Amino acid sequence: MTWSCDTCLAWHTSHSPHRAVAAGHHGPIDHVPAIITREAAPGDFDRYFDEAFQELSPESRHLRFFTAIRELPDNVRARLADVDGYRNAAVVAFDAAVMLPDHPEGKAIGVARWMTGDDGPPELSITVIDEYQGMGVGARLMDALLALARKRGVQRIIADVLRENTGMRTLINRYRAVVQRSGDPLVVRYRIDV
Ligand SMILES: CC(C)(COP(=O)(O)OP(=O)(O)OC[C@H]1O[C@@H](n2cnc3c(N)ncnc32)[C@H](O)[C@@H]1OP(=O)(O)O)[C@@H](O)C(=O)NCCC(=O)NCCS
């Protein structure tokens, strides 16, 4: 079956539009994934970010960045690319079952990170591209990120999550997250004691 995607304006084959609406704008994958995770290195951002960002629906961009942005401002890109493994660290997930030129580890399908600001505990964020959502990738990334945080001596992480984001709120509740005041009625702030 061939159908046109309202979001990316491309024609897709094989997925039904009804499944696509349920699972993300490109529909669910139609193979068995081989999910692996590893700590992000400087350079991963330039290599993988743009293509993964293109695979996020407007809704996922809205849930992640609190606005359905089409492009990230340069200062935000620079912040996200700046991983030192301590103040700012990230874990990347790949599907090793997908063979792509110049991607020896497979297709980049998600990232979880903490970023430390001028004050307060580091802040967690996590993104899985639409066609892999709901398959356990987010949980794998959370497990790997919290294991890394323990290794690096991080004791507390906070996460600001849009109240409407049931997926992320379900996921974070699995990690005994404590709800704190966020100061914004649209945002729930969680604290995880690592
Ligand atoms: C939120 C997000 C990271 C979750 O990742 P995921 O790979 O889809 O989640 P998983 O498949 O690992 O699911 C983890 C748990 O959340 C639940 N869940 C996932 N999506 C859900 C949804 N939309 N509604 C309700 N529960 C949901 C799963 O059922 C699972 O719970 P269970 O183990 O009790 O069954 C992912 O959907 C995403 O990137 N969303 C867009 C960006 C975003 O919201 N980022 C968070 C901003 S901080």
Is the domain of 71 the same as that of 22? no
Residue 188's CATH number: 3.40.630.30
pLDDT beyond 90 at 161: yes
Is the domain of 146 the same as that of 66? yes
Is the domain of 103 the same as that of 128? yes
pLDDT at residue number 31: 93
Atom of ligand 1 minimally distant from the CA of 125 = 48
pLDDT beyond 50 at 84: yes
Tokens for 68, please give them.
Answer: 């359905």
Q: Model confidence over 87-139: pLDDT tens digits? A: 999 999 999 999 988 889 999 999 999 999 998 899 999 999 999 999 999 99
- Residue 171's domain spans which residues? 33-193
Is the domain of 183 the same as that of 132? yes
Handedness of CA 152, 154, 160, 163 (dihedral sign): positive
Is the domain of 110 the same as that of 40? yes
Which residue, chain included where needed, has tokens 């912040």? 79
Is the domain of 25 the same as that of 39? no
- Number of separate domains in the chain: 2
pLDDT at residue number 8: 37
- CA 19 to CA 28: how far, in whole Å? 7
SS3 133: coil
pLDDT beyond 60 at 6: no
Is the domain of 11 the same as that of 94? no
Is the domain of 188 the same as that of 139? yes
Per-residue pLDDT, averaged over 175-180, amounts to 95
pLDDT at residue number 116: 96
Tokens for 163, please give them.
Answer: 């109240």
Q: Model confidence over 11-68: pLDDT tens digits? A: 333 333 333 333 445 578 989 999 999 999 989 998 999 899 999 999 999 999 999 8
SS3 16: coil
Per-residue pLDDT, averaged over 71-91, amounts to 94
Residue to probe by mutation, ligand 1, list 109, 133, 145, 165, most atoms within 8 Å of CB: 133
Within 6 Å (CB) of ligand 1, which residues are found? 60, 63-64, 125-128, 133-139, 159, 161, 165-168, 170-171
Best CA proximity match to 111, nearest among 135, 150, 80: 80
pLDDT at residue number 1: 35
